[in-house]
Amino acid sequence: MENFVVSARKYRPATFDTVVGQQSITNTLKNAIKTGHLAQAFLFCGPRGVGKTTCARILAKTINCFDRTASTEACDKCESCKSFNEGQSLNVYELDAASNNSVDDIRNLVDQVRFAPQLGSHRVYIIDEVHMLSTSAFNAFLKTLEEPPKHAIFILATTEKHKIIPTILSRCQIFDFNRIQVEDIAHHLGSIAEKEEIKAEQDALHIIAQKADGALRDALSMFDQIVSFSGSNMTYAHVIDNLNILDYDYYFKVTEMLLGNKIPDVLMVYNDVLNKGFDGHNFIVGLAEHLRNLMVSKDPITVQLLEVGASIKEKYLEQSKAADGHFLMQAIQLANQADLQYKAAKNQRLLIELCLMQLCSITNGGLDTTVQKKNDGFKVVENLKPSKSVISGNSTQATSVTPQNAVAPPLKVNNSIVPPESQIPTEPINTHNAPPAPVKIGTKFGGKRKIPSVSASLGAMLNDKPKVEESQEKAQKASGPKMSTEFSDEELKAVWAELMAEIEKEGKEGSSLVTSAMRERMPKREGNLLQMLVENKSQEEEVMIFRPDMHEMMRQRLKNSEVTIVVSINRDLTERKAYTDAEKFQKMIDRNPNLLDLKKKLDLDFI
């Protein structure tokens, strides 16, 4: 039985011209050899399988060749080239730093550097995976690397340049190897297939090249795997079955469903994908890549960014005509968000399904849509933005949200809280279509109400006074006949005293703050507008709780429906200094005169 040699070794490049995808680096090395401007230390860095070690060996072989060609390539005929090809060259020394990374290993290498080459002009030392050397080994290597003998050349190769200490980097000529392009890998695989007499579809080679992610060695390993599976006839179906790759047809089919708003169909396709063993994360990543390919297919300038076979490229060009740019941009953004959120999601399947349903809704009036369940399956219907949809059974009932049943926050003007138009009516808003309860003065104070937000937005009310007055008139008409009896300051004072007495009598939660804020100071009157002055935010918010009932009582007692109470913080009161002990005691005497008698009898004084 003939010994099998893997393609990665059998077709390993032997000259600079046969290196795939690194033309700029090979041209630089050839010119350096041709002109004799060779550095004494090279650092080849880049991803795995892109040709670092291969180029290092080709460079070592070409430097010592006795009869280089006109294109600065090794002749493969001289004694030096033959000994190198047979693995017997004494001028090339290779060290695997992954397993020989100690100080002693580097010292053994340094001891050999002083010996001159027996055949050829240079001794070349190739250290692979150099980032695996220990810090001590690096330090032991520094002096020799900086001042090596004239005949010594060091070639260091690594996949992780950031792990190499800066003192080593500064002594080397650095070459960065790039990932090999998909087209270059596919073309190279095609040439190997011809040599091996294997019939391979171009789309199949492109899939292998994409799966390799820029590493030619990985591509050759997958090529051997597919050949073992399919024999001498390599097809696109063989590749996707053997490498567990999701077919392009799935994504073309899913995109058609997204454009047609077919939510049930796309969910069934995703279920089929999961049943075949594919991961949901890979599916959404592939869908995002597919949508990106559709986007670049829409412009002749960016079509060249497609890295697919000719037949699949035609499919992309055809489907890109049906998908507009607006859909593709939103779809790519949604798919990208699902990709970022996938690992953190508790229910990952639901995340992808929700993303697919949102994608289906883009072309049907935007993402703000409602999904209805009917007898014929799912149907995406336009969302009624002015209303709130309530889904019940197989039908949808829309309940409009209008200013009549919406409660607006209180508004604040010049530190005064003005009641919004929806709170001005004397009777509370009835949201359950039940008849309003009769108003009982003195029983509603201190009731638990939702404290309105003092820092609410001013809204349009500040700039549109006529609308506010119009809404007040409507509210008053709804609450009963309009009353506009004139009242005097004495009447106001009497009604105010009654109001304070009723609030204090109830003794409900918050009444103490209200009475303390209002007992000693009458509201300032400007016509029918009464301005209450409070000392702080707490008093302001508590008074807001009682204000609707205060409106009710004041309007009925004064027989004037236009009476309006506003609340504002008195900055003079807020910024005053703290009370002295004498002032505090005087306040206490005002409330309970018996304290003064007690002070005199016990002969008390302030400390």
CATH number, position 294: 1.20.272.10
pLDDT digits (tens, 9 = 90+) for 139-178: 888 888 888 888 899 999 999 989 888 888 988 999 999 8
Residues of the chain under the 70 pLDDT cut: 1-2, 365-482, 506-521, 546-547, 571-579, 607
Spatial CA neighbour of 532 closest among 461, 540, 441, 492:
540
Q: Is residue 602 part of a domain?
A: no
144 plus 201 within the same structural domain: no
Cα–Cα distance measured from residue 516 to residue 503, given in angstroms and rounded to the nearest whole number? 11
The secondary structure of the chain in percent helix, strand, coil, rounded to multiples of 5, reads 50, 15, 40
Q: Tokens 């058609």 sit at which residue?
A: 256
Q: Is residue 149 part of a domain?
A: yes
232 plus 279 within the same structural domain: no
55 plus 78 within the same structural domain: yes
171 plus 268 within the same structural domain: no
529 plus 453 within the same structural domain: yes
Q: How many domains does the chain have?
A: 4
pTM of the model: 0.53
Q: Is residue 585 part of a domain?
A: no
Note down the domain range covering 62: 7-176
43 plus 160 within the same structural domain: yes
Q: Is residue 594 part of a domain?
A: no
Rounded alpha-carbon distances, angstroms, from residue 256 to 143, 153, 291, 320, 354: 65, 60, 12, 11, 18
Q: What is the largest CA-CA distance in the chain?
A: 129
Q: Is residue 109 part of a domain?
A: yes
27 plus 166 within the same structural domain: yes
Give residue 592's pLDDT: 84
23 plus 157 within the same structural domain: yes
Boundary of a domain, candidates 149, 176, 203: 176
What 3-state DSSP class applies to 178?
coil
Give residue 246's pLDDT: 80
Give residue 324's pLDDT: 87
Q: Which amino acid is at 405?
A: N
62 plus 112 within the same structural domain: yes
30 plus 140 within the same structural domain: yes
Rounded alpha-carbon distances, angstroms, from residue 35 to 64, 199, 240: 15, 44, 49
Residues in the chain: 607
292 plus 233 within the same structural domain: no
CATH number, position 220: 1.10.8.60
**Cβ 147 vs Cβ 34: under 8 Å:** no
213 plus 254 within the same structural domain: no
